[in-house]
Amino acid sequence: MVWKMVKGILIVLVLIFFLLPIYWIVATSFKQWPDIFAIPPKFVFRGTFVHYLTLFNIRPEEAAKFGQVGKSLFPPRFLNSVVIAGISTVLSVALGTFSAYAFSRFRVRGENDLLFFILSTRMLPPIVVGIPFFVVYRALGLIDTHIGLILLYMTFNLSFSVWLMKGFMDEIPREFEEAALIDGYTRFEAFFKVILPQALSGIAATAVFCLIAAWNEFFFALILTSEKARTAPPSIAAIQGTSGINWGQIAAGVTVFLLPVVVFTFFVRKYLARGLTFGVIKR
């Protein structure tokens, strides 16, 4: 009984510890300008949507009050984030799933060396290759292009995707596709009709991680883009007015930026919980 209460209190404390920054950002995004800086901080305040309205250029006339010059750049850059993170995630998960299937099911010459090579691409900190990438991208004309960032994020996520999916593929018994092959299907059909549905939970988990990595990436987005293909993270950090940092709008931007990943994770959580295949193959 006492232990239960202690446990409850501990959980609440841990939750406060982790959720406070998020509460802070969300609350700030709804606070009026003076309340943002109030000391002690106000937990009860009159809310406002003004930061969101200026962020999305719905009420541009308000923006000037916060020292904003010209239109807010957030909407196009948010869209860039969606396009770049989305496409790179789809590509790395798709390629990862196919290669993981091949590694798992066929005898690949030098399989272990290849897998290690794929993993080794993750071993150096990305920041080390920042300058070389910049030089190469400039030479190839990929600076500030969507395709440039998509390729980059796809490449960085691919090793992770191959390794994670290989684990999931190895767990799917071969008998499933063998049964499908005998039932009259080609290997390709067997893959799509039988293996892919089994791999869904793995694909969902892999996609969540790839999406988060690509969505939150800051460094390469900062040095490899400037205008056209700039994504939200470097853009939010740069929200400044003539009279200093526009904290309200930054908070609104961060809140909007958090939402897609939360929503995506929410929708795939059914697949994240494994157990879809539990108990069907006797081992």
CB of 270 to other proteins, least distance (A): 13
Pick between residue 4 and residue 283 the one whose CB is nearest to other proteins: 283
Closest CA to 249 of 1, 84, 56: 56
Closest CA to 41 of 250, 247, 244: 247
Pick between residue 13 and residue 276 the one whose CB is nearest to other proteins: 276
CA atoms lying within 13 Å on the CB side of residue 202: 26
244: β partners:
241
CB of 89 to other proteins, least distance (A): 23
Pick between residue 159 and residue 201 the one whose CB is nearest to other proteins: 201
Buried b (16+ CB within 10 A) or exposed e, 173-212: eeebbeebeeeebeeeebbeebbeebbebbbbbbbbbbbb
Pick between residue 61 and residue 175 the one whose CB is nearest to other proteins: 175
CB of 179 to other proteins, least distance (A): 4
- The span from the CA of 124 to the CA of 90, in Å, is 24
Torsion sign, CA atoms 7, 8, 14, 17: negative
Pick between residue 19 and residue 183 the one whose CB is nearest to other proteins: 183
CB of 182 to other proteins, least distance (A): 5
The region that residue 172 occupies, defined by phi over 0 for left and psi between -120 and 50 for alpha, beta otherwise, is: beta
For the residues of 158-180, what is the DSSP string, one character each?
HHHHHHHHHHHHHHS-HHHHHHH
Q: Read off the amino acid at residue 3.
A: W
CB of 101 to other proteins, least distance (A): 17
CB of 74 to other proteins, least distance (A): 41
- The span from the CA of 203 to the CA of 189, in Å, is 18
- The span from the CA of 140 to the CA of 147, in Å, is 12
Pick between residue 56 and residue 185 the one whose CB is nearest to other proteins: 185
CB of 198 to other proteins, least distance (A): 7
Pick between residue 194 and residue 252 the one whose CB is nearest to other proteins: 194
* Residue ranges binding other proteins (CB under 8 A): 173, 175-176, 178-186, 189, 194, 197-198, 276-283
